[in-house]
Amino acid sequence: MVTDGTPLDMPQFPRSQVLSLVKTFNMYVRFEEERWPEVELAEQDTTEGREKYEELRQEFVARFWSAGPSTSFEEASASV
């Protein structure tokens, strides 16, 4: 389960970086490549990164989300 973290933790690819990519993976897949710099910013655990993530998350849900209305973006991600 993604919310429990990841067993991957390597010097060249630390756990925090893996979790950041897990968080934004679907955004990289669905958003246009021109938007990837924004997604990269959203990976960061900073105030600016968290704000950008929330902005992109809302756009992603509005454009691409097809789960039932009772399933949140976070709940669906946790079930992966």
Q: Which of 51, 34, 53 is nearest to 42 (CA)?
A: 53
pTM over 0.85: no
Domain ranges of the chain: 11-63
Bridge-partner residues for 13, per DSSP?
A: 10
Residue 69 scores a pLDDT above 80: no
List CB contacts of 22: < 8 A, sequence separation 6 or more: 2, 6, 77
pLDDT tens-place string over residues 22-40:
889 999 999 999 999 999 9
In order, the DSSP letters of 36-69 are: HHHHHHHHSSSHHHHHHHHHHHHHHHHHH--S-T
Of 9-13, 16-20, 24-28, minimum mean pLDDT range: 9-13
